[in-house]
Structure 1
């Protein structure tokens, strides 16, 4: 059951370019964050060879720091749909179909639990 539900945050602000050193540090933290749960996590600078490679590829990236001046948050969680349709959507999101999305399901449950309680 396809759905157009979403949660989005739009940030506006003044971007600041990071120095190559800061950019490499940010990339290293990012890699560590996603690698740490793997059976054999890799570090960007785990070996001398890795360090050389990391420095070489990081030169092809641009690091940016954004200081937000405006934040706009939006969500659409089928608020305008009848309960039986919402329940069907949540069932699909909680299943094992290609449409499964536990995070989106949690957000929908929060919205619709509040909506139903307010009736």
Structure 2
């Protein structure tokens, strides 16, 4: 992914938060013919005892993509929010564009052991069940059902090695256009436009004009 210096995010704390918030990612590998294979999966970001970061998840065993894990690098794409930017919001420019935030991660993938997979499933459920009125835990699943489901999935771990974070947020626009974009995004009735407006304003607060 091409990322200009202007749009490149390098603050690890911001990138980490983004990956955790938008954890339903696209996992891409290539098969033996060089054809890309992609699956959309929830991933858990973890830090290992030696300080490295990894992404853990699981995939249906019937999905043959797992057979290509480890043979070449895996690409993981974290994306959203995004918003259309109309050129009618500019004083002079006539070319519309799209603002977005996306993080690409490259790394080697390995298959998890059964115990590692069980731990990852437990972590996943605890995280996403936390907001539930009646949270369900892994221990609530009877052993027979759990074993049956474990046989149908493959756990994996991707070492986070190369990161490319592209935050295209109209950083090249002068203040008048920049803040007019924010104004129009806030007038739209969708959360993604509002989130993009928030991210833009965080980088160039109104009071700094």
The alignment's TM-score, normalised by the length of structure 1, stands at 0.72
Match of 1:69 among 161, 164, 168: 161
Deviation at 1:90, TM superposition (A): 3.3
Alpha-carbon displacement from aligned partner over 1:9-59 (angstroms, at most 9, x marks no partner):
111111111012211210111011111221111112225x2x432332233
* Runs of 5+ unmatched residues, structure 2: 1-82, 85-97
1:108 matched residue in structure 2: 200
Match of 2:140 among 46, 63, 73: 46
How many residue pairs get matched? 109
2:184 matched residue in structure 1: 88
The alignment's TM-score, normalised by the length of structure 2, stands at 0.45
Distance 1:75 1:61 in 2: 34
Q: Which structure has the highest strand share of the two?
A: 2
1:16 matched residue in structure 2: 110
Distance 1:103 1:25 in 2: 33
The CA RMSD measured in Å over matched residues stands at: 2.5
Report if the CA contact (8 A) 2:107-2:161 is conserved: yes
Deviation at 1:105, TM superposition (A): 4.1
Deviation at 1:69, TM superposition (A): 2.3
The verdict on how the C-alpha distance between 1:109 and 1:37 changes in structure 2, with shifts beyond 3 A counting, is: same
Distance 2:114 2:144 in 1: 14
Which fold has the larger relative contact order, with Cα–Cα distance below 8 Å and residues 6 or more apart in sequence? 1
Q: Which structure has the highest helix share of the two?
A: 1
